[in-house]
Amino acid sequence: AQELPEIFRSDDPAGAVELSINDRKPLIDLVIGLPKEVFTATDSLGWCYQFWQAEKKDEVNAAGNKIGADELPSVTQLFTENYMVDFLLDNTLGAWHAGKVLASKPSLAATAKDETELRASVALPGCPWTYLRFVKADGKWSPAAGTFDGWPKTTNELKCLDPCMGSGHFVVSMFERLVALRVAEEGLDETQAIPAVIGDNLFGLELDPRCTQIGAFNLALAAWRRGGHCTLPLMNIACCGFAPNAKKDDWLKLAGNDDRLQRGMARLYSLFKDAPELGSLINPSASGGDLLEAEFHELQPLLERALSQENKDATAHEMAVTAQGLFKAAEILAGLFTLVVTNVPYLARGKQDEILRVFSENNHKSAKEDLATTMMDRCTTFCLNEGGTIALVTPQNWFSQDRYADFRASCIEGIEWLLAAALGAGAFRTISGEVVKPLLIIANRKIPNSDHIFFGRDFSDNDSADLKSEGIRSDDFNRLSQTVQLKNPKYRIDVNDVGAGERLLKFANYFNGIQTGDGPQFIRFFTEVQTINGDWEFHQTTAEKPAEFEGMRMILFWQKGRGRIVALPNSSVRGRDAWNRSGVLISAMGTLQASRYLGHFFDDNTIAIIPKTSDQLMAIWACCSDQSYNDRVRLIDQALKVRGPLVEIPFDLAYWQKVAAERYPNGLPKPFSIDPTQWIFSGHPKGSDQPLHVAVARLLGYQWPRQTGSSFPDCPALGPDGLETLADDDGVVCLPAINR
């Protein structure tokens, strides 16, 4: 509180709590016992916050309730890996610096052997730009992300913001680079550069009050580690998650009788009334022009007087403290910045409570489907127009999923993309990061030219965080046209350059399957029903193994379409246009396995691909059943469950017709299975891969569906002696897979 009074209040009630010596000594011993590396590591405080929030995060997720103010900080908190931070900053601040170096040394751009030599040539003390990427064109090297010509020419003019600061990981990493740049440019020593960077260049916002304090303390520790203990300037860091802690009438009383000051306080109240949920989404400039009726410098003396009253009213004092914090946050929220860099919070629209959901609908319509895209949209408005840059960690699902199509179109048309690295699953080493598939993206707030080129690549096949880290540092990126992305189906972003040409969707339609709303009520294994009558229909589902005829083990209680299933509010009968037609059924989750579709009902974990003309079925089956199919789709979409991209891969009809003719010279095989768990099983034990099931079924008098009255002619009659041959050592009949 003494060193950072603007962050840690000297009169904070928590500071008045005194622990007994019996409690203090074990705490002191714990701190003293920590290794030196804990204090010198840049990410220690971030790890503290990550693990401190872990239990609450699990509780909130398990409860399944809508996420509001109380839950947001824990649910959306995810510690950003060092390599992600380094990649984004090295390819923004580092690329800007490298551009200036290469401009001053044109021979270097022409003679450097490789990226390693270039990095060494532009490195600064303590700042090696390890992840800075270069590309070579027309015999000259240049930064892959460009040279950021819209930025100021000197570091002291840069303004860099993290609007979702968390524990300060990006802020501290920017601090280290900016200090190195200012020392090199201005000839400052570090004791001069450190306060200059903190006071001039760095800005941070955070929703959670405690995390704001951690972030500020993290920056202070970084400064003290580098320059020794010293008094630091006022930090441009604020909590944007506070709401006015009073009724509006009481709040306005702080302004006395001054009408202008009252309007300023009223505007402040209106802006921040939902701040615990909206945080950095608040945009003072978007709803009323100037920041406030009365600017901060006018209201600051008023608030200081309220805080310094000798006989101060406790409520008024608290309101004044809050107002000071809100004005600081409002100034930053209304600012424009050279570089906006952050790991955006992730929260799907369906999990948001009403305040956040309605705000996104009203203010970020095309980006509303996830808090991540909403915040990405807001980050763009933080940037200087025609000059500012965003560098973000986002989930990569918005690159491909249908519901983000409008947002993709607005991004392709409205901002100039520079670098995009899709990392896929396993990119985080930490708790909570197992299923997150992040995307690293850098873009300028600028309308792109029609011939604009950006660089991108999908690193999902790199199986670990270490391999992904190495990949974004050394693997070649693809050279991509931004405007060509608008020609992709539903504007899906193709960073792998899978190629132009005709797509499978030209030759086939795809259909979603039935969502019953209550699977246990309506779906059975076909072996559970003695006779399949008119109430039941064969129901195809996902393939358990690669096979031409698979997933034919279930039946659906359809009741001729007049039963309970169509009355349930959460059921959805889809795929009618595929029924009674032949096609391909794709298991749409995990590995995308294909099986033949026979025209029956099918469930919502599968997608039916139906040729537009029947003579193309062989070619489409050859394509979808090929081992390359899964990989080709996954280049487009990494989602857990895939829909449209299943038919959006390039499709060379002539090539696949040739493949099909070679594989199936006599045409596609007729439906057949030797697996008695499938309802197309021939009913004959000869050749069955599980003959025991057939023998036991006959012993029990079981009649296979579609085989009513079959005598199983090659299966001998079984009496007590025969039964013994089907028993194990304990005399128990073995039924490993039959459902009865």
Q: In the structure encoding, which two tokens stand for residue 180, read together? A: 């190195």
Q: Please give the pLDDT value at position 44.
A: 81
Give 513-528 pLDDT, tens digit per residue: 999 989 899 999 988 8
Q: In the structure encoding, which two tokens stand for residue 540, read together? A: 């195809």
Does the pLDDT at position 649 exceed 80? yes
Q: In the structure encoding, which two tokens stand for residue 523, read together? A: 């779906």
Q: Could you give the dihedral angle defined by the CA atoms of residues 628, 633, 637 and 643, in that order, rounded to the nearest 10 degrees? A: -140
Phi and psi at residue 270, in whole multiples of 5°? -65, -40
Rounded to whole angstroms, the Cα distance separating 371 from 669 reads: 49
Q: In the structure encoding, which two tokens stand for residue 579, read together? A: 């029924």
Q: In the structure encoding, which two tokens stand for residue 700, read together? A: 């029990």
Q: Please give the pLDDT value at position 599.
A: 94
Does the pLDDT at position 67 exceed 50? yes
Q: In the structure encoding, which two tokens stand for residue 116, read together? A: 């390693």
Q: What is the mean pLDDT of residues 420-430?
A: 88
Does the pLDDT at position 490 exceed 80? yes
Q: What is the mean pLDDT of residues 603-631?
A: 93
Does the pLDDT at position 247 exceed 90? no
Q: Please give the pLDDT value at position 616.
A: 94
Confidence band, pLDDT 50/70/90 cuts, at residue 567: confident
Residue type, 574: R
Q: Phi-psi region for residue 613, left (φ > 0), alpha (ψ -120 to 50) or beta?
A: beta
Q: Please give the pLDDT value at position 201.
A: 97
What are the E-state strand segments in 514-616? Answer: 523-525, 536-540, 554-557, 583-587, 594-597, 601-602, 606-611
Does the pLDDT at position 72 exceed 90? no
Q: Which residues are CB-neighbours of 387 under 8 A, at least 6 positions away?
A: 150, 151, 338, 444, 445, 446
Q: In the structure encoding, which two tokens stand for residue 232, read together? A: 């630091």
Q: What is the mean pLDDT of residues 696-715?
A: 42
Length of the chain: 740
State the greatest distance between any 2 C-alpha atoms of the chain, in Å, as a whole number.
Answer: 105
More confident residue, 682 or 345: 345
Q: Which residues are CB-neighbours of 375 under 8 A, at least 6 positions away?
A: 163, 164, 280, 281, 342, 344, 345
Beta carbons within 10 angstroms of residue 266's beta carbon: 16
Q: Please give the pLDDT value at position 693.
A: 52
Beta carbons within 10 angstroms of residue 252's beta carbon: 17
Helix (H/G/I), strand (E/B), else coil: 187: coil
Which of the residue ranges 108-117, 596-605, 636-645 would you say has the lowest mean pLDDT? Answer: 636-645
* Cross-strand bridge partners of residue 324: none
Does the pLDDT at position 504 exceed 80? yes
Rounded to whole angstroms, the Cα distance separating 312 from 316 reads: 7
Q: What is the mean pLDDT of residues 60-84?
A: 85
The answer to whether 601 and 556 are in contact (CB under 8 A) is: yes
Mean pLDDT score across all residues of the chain: 85
Q: What is the mean pLDDT of residues 436-455?
A: 94
Among candidate residues 453, 441, 205, the one with its CA nearest the CA of residue 329:
205
- Please provide the distance, in angstroms rounded to a whole number, between the alpha carbons at the two ends of the chain: 71
Q: Please give the pLDDT value at position 431.
A: 54
Rounded to whole angstroms, the Cα distance separating 161 from 372 reads: 17
Q: What is the mean pLDDT of residues 226-233?
A: 84
Q: Please give the pLDDT value at position 685.
A: 56
Among candidate residues 350, 426, 419, 433, the one with its CA nearest the CA of residue 390:
419
Among candidate residues 322, 327, 330, the one with its CA nearest the CA of residue 245:
322
More confident residue, 583 or 641: 583
Q: Please give the pLDDT value at position 697.
A: 52
Does the pLDDT at position 288 exceed 70? no
Q: In the structure encoding, which two tokens stand for residue 188, read together? A: 């400052």
Question: Of the segments 9-23, 74-88, 247-261, which one has the largest average pLDDT value?
Answer: 74-88
The answer to whether 642 and 592 are in contact (CB under 8 A) is: yes
Does the pLDDT at position 727 exceed 50? no
Helix (H/G/I), strand (E/B), else coil: 16: helix
Task: Give the position of tokens 């409570």.
Answer: 353
